[in-house]
């Protein structure tokens, strides 16, 4: 279509609205600035939260290391007290250490040393006495005190407990030799102070070792309570040192501390020298904490990982803010764009609507289903090409008429219900009906009618879609008929097999041996199961062909349940299973079909028994709820997997766990149960949890049932 005149796009400038344009630009710039500030603030806030959270975790890690030191010192104090008791030797000392359970809590972490105070003039007597005391202990056979020093007072290692082979040669070592190098001042120990040495390199004592560690040292006195005395008095009773050796790796190592992964990257400094480092990964911040252990202060530098994060929600806040800001900006610019191009958009929309309408018409014309559009009174305004093929009427014959032209074969109630749904309730309607083609042929159809309302909610028109399902219905009928015929044909030979098996068991063909009789009984049992399956298939065919009959009569409901329970109880005695029955005290006479309801009860109770373990109790419970009676069958069996529960009442369905317990079964029992109960005016359902049991229930109206016409009843 040719266009003349001015372009439909009308700009703000052409309207003389430059001030509006400037206002929009300024507002947009302010919005962008505020958005950037909000997003940056959100990210900074999260970073502050990360710093605070990391610092708390670092404090917790330092506390845990301090707790380890406190525990160690508690054990060391006990060992020191033990040493001043009478009759102590290396074996008893070792047994005492093992009894403290230190090695169990911290395997291979500690080495324990007792160095006794000895004057040089008494050294030979000390060695001789020690060897005599430790007679039989091979490690003391060649005990010597080393190295030689000029001091008049010596502190040789008398007892040593360690699982570190590199520490073993220290037995007999005079600790005075390393006193100064290790920062151990005997005067401090004598004053009753608990002292931590400087970092000691074992190589200074054992040349072949590269080990290093700290010594936690406590003085040992011959009398208790010396810590409160003056230095001169304490010195008289001072007998030696007790020390616990531990390496920096064991003292600070992450494998010894139950701390989060985030704070396991840290370095430890002693007198400004780095003595231990855990990992060496990228980090974006350092938190410094101090740990005082007796006389020594350690500095721990915890390195915050570059990927350190707080809780999921806290980390998501900046992203949520970003999306929100982007959304606000996008909405603002889209609003400007929509205003800017409003007139041009109107033209484009009209053109697109015309194109869409043509596409819709082409699409509707090409579908195989019959589509009509009618006014609110049902007069046809439009019909697609498929209408002619399905109804036999041409479109010119249909336009202006109502669908009654090829319909009107259903009962009056059907059409009243349909018009109520689409015209009064203004809801879509779906259903099946019979229609008649122009040539008089009757066909089955599925219809879907949708009411279309205007902006005020008033009806504008109806869209109806009809599908010819005659062939589908015919296939279903053929399937059902085949199922019925096949089942009937199977019953005859199965009945004959059952009859001949019974004759053989009764001895009509001669007496059977015990083994032969056993085989014939197994044949009869298998044959009975096949007859039950065939009967189930027959029942399905009757249901699908509409030939199920309900013949109600006055029935003692509780007596009916008792009879089913009595019949099923006979076969479960060997399995030690039981059936309990609870009911209201008053009698209950109800108008039901006893044969059908007996079939339902038998199926539900036998299923509960079949899938319950030996010794279990299946409960049958009856309740009166208003105008209905509710029957529940409760078991504690295998239950039904949750993902399969929606298929429980489908034909031929059996749950996977049921197939493992009972391999044979038709999968038709619960399908028949549901059909019988619904046909009797009731409801059926269940609650189940795998490996915990199931509760199947059904209801029946107390007012009784109406007779439903049919040909035969379920067998």
Summarised one tens digit per residue, pLDDT across range 518-531 is 777 677 666 555 55
Which residues does residue 301 pair with via DSSP β-bridges, in sequence order? 267, 288
pLDDT of residue 62: 85
The answer to whether residue 684 scores a pLDDT higher than 90 is yes
Grouping H, G, I as helix, E, B as strand and the rest as coil, residue 115 is strand
DSSP 179: T
Indicate the pairing of strand 617-625 with strand 578-582.
Answer: parallel
How many whole angstroms from its chain centre is CA 106?
37
- Look up tokens 């002292």; give the residue: 195
Judged against a pLDDT cut of 50, whether residue 350 lies above it is answered with no
Q: How confident is the model at residue 171 (pLDDT cuts 50, 70, 90)?
A: very high
What's the confidence (pLDDT) of residue 663? Answer: 56
CA distance 708 to 549: 5
Chain mean pLDDT for the chain = 79
- Is 118 strand, coil or helix? strand
pLDDT at position 713 is 39
Predicted TM-score (pTM) of this structure: 0.41
Among 88-92, 258-262, 355-359, whose mean pLDDT is lowest?
Answer: 355-359
**What CA–CA distance (Å, rounded) separates 20 from 42?**
33
Q: Which distant-in-sequence residues (6+ apart) come within 8 Å of 56 by Cβ?
A: none
Q: What is the pLDDT of residue 255?
A: 53
Q: What is the reported pLDDT for 686?
A: 95
Burial of 300 (0-12, 13-18, 19+ CB in 10 A): buried
Question: Which tens digit of pLDDT belongs to each residue from 41-95?
Answer: 878 888 888 888 888 888 888 888 888 778 777 777 777 777 777 678 899 888 8
**Cβ atoms of residues 199 and 227 within 8 Å:** no
Taking the C-alpha atoms of residue 359 and residue 152, their distance in angstroms, rounded to an integer, is: 113
Residues 405-413 have a mean pLDDT of: 86
Phi then psi dihedrals of residue 58, to 5 deg: -65, -40
- Domains of the chain, start order: 24-325 (3.30.450.350), 353-468 (3.30.450.20), 474-544 (1.10.287), 553-701 (3.30.565.10)
User: CA-to-CA distance for 576 and 258, rounded, in angstroms?
Assistant: 53
Q: Which of 518-532, 547-561, 581-595, 651-665 has the lowest mean pLDDT?
A: 518-532
Nearest CA-CA partner of 76 in 270, 174, 217? 217
Q: Per-residue pLDDT for 5 more than 60?
A: no
């Amino acid at each position: 279509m040719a266009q003349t005149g001015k372009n439909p796009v009308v700009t703000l400038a052409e309207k003389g609205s430059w001030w509006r344009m400037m206002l929009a630009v300024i507002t947009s710039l302010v919005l962008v600035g505020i958005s950037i500030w909000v997003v940056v603030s959100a990210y900074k806030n999260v970073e502050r939260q990360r710093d605070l959270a990391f610092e708390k975790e670092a404090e917790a890690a330092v506390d845990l290391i301090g707790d380890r030191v406190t525990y160690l010192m508690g054990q060391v104090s006990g060992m020191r007290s033990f040493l001043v008791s009478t009759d102590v030797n290396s074996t008893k000392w070792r047994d005492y250490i093992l009894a403290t359970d230190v090695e169990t809590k911290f395997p291979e972490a500690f080495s324990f040393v007792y160095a006794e105070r000895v004057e040089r003039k008494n050294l030979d007597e000390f060695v001789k006495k020690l060897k005599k005391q430790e007679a039989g202990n091979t490690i003391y056979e060649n005990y010597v005190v080393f190295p030689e020093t000029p001091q008049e007072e010596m502190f040789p290692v008398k007892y040593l407990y360690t699982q570190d082979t590199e520490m073993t040669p220290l037995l007999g070592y005079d600790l005075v030799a390393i006193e100064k190098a290790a920062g151990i001042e005997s005067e401090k120990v004598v004053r009753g102070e608990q002292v931590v040495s400087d970092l000691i390199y074992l190589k200074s004592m054992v040349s072949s070792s590269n080990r290093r560690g700290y010594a936690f040292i406590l003085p040992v006195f011959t009398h208790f309570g010396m810590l409160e005395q003056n230095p001169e008095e304490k010195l008289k009773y001072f007998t030696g040192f007790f020390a616990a050796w531990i390496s920096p790796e064991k003292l600070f190592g992450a494998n010894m501390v139950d701390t989060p992964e985030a704070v396991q990257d840290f370095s430890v400094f002693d007198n400004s020298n780095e003595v231990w480092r855990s990992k060496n990964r990228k980090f974006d911040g350092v938190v410094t904490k101090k740990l005082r252990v007796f006389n020594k202060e350690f500095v721990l530098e915890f390195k915050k990982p570059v990927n350190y994060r707080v809780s999921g929600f806290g980390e998501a806040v900046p992203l949520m803010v970003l999306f929100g800001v982007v959304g606000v900006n996008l909405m603002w610019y889209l609003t400007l764009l929509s205003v800017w191009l409003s007139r041009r958009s109107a033209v484009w929309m009209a053109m697109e609507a015309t194109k869409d309408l043509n596409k819709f018409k082409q699409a509707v014309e090409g579908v195989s289903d019959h589509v009509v559009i009618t006014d609110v009174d049902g007069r046809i305004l439009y019909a697609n090409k498929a209408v002619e093929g399905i109804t036999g009427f041409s479109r010119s014959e249909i336009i202006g008429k109502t669908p009654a032209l090829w319909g009107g074969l259903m009962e009056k109630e059907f059409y009243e219900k349909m018009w109520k749904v689409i015209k009064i309730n203004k809801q879509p309607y779906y259903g099946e009906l019979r229609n008649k083609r122009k040539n008089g042929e009757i066909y089955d159809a599925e219809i879907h009618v949708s009411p279309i309302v205007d902006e005020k909610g008033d009806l504008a028109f109806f869209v109806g879609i009809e599908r010819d399902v005659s062939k589908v219905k015919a296939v279903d009928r053929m399937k059902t008929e085949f199922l019925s015929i096949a089942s009937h044909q199977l019953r005859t030979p199965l009945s004959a097999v059952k009859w001949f098996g019974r004759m053989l068991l009764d001895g009509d063909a001669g007496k059977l041996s015990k083994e032969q009789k056993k085989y014939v009984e197994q044949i009869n049992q298998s044959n009975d199961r096949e007859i039950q399956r065939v009967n189930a298939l027959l029942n399905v065919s009757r249901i699908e062909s509409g030939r199920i009959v309900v013949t109600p009569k006055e029935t003692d409901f509780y007596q009916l349940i008792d009879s089913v329970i009595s019949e099923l109880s006979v076969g479960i005695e060997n399995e030690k299973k039981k059936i309990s029955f609870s009911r209201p005290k008053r009698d209950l006479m109800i108008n039901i079909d006893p044969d059908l309801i007996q079939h339902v009860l038998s199926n539900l109770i036998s299923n509960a028994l079949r899938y319950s373990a030996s010794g279990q109790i299946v409960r049958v419970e009856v309740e009166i709820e208003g105008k209905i009676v509710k029957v529940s069958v409760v078991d504690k069996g295998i239950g039904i997997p949750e993902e399969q529960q929606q298929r429980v009442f489908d034909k031929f369905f059996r749950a996977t766990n049921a197939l493992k317990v009972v391999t044979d079964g038709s999968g038709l029992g619960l399908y028949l149960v549901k059909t019988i109960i619904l046909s009797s005016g009731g409801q059926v359902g269940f609650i189940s949890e795998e490996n915990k049991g199931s509760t199947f229930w059904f209801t029946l109206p107390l007012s009784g049932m109406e007779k439903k016409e049919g040909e035969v009843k379920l067998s």
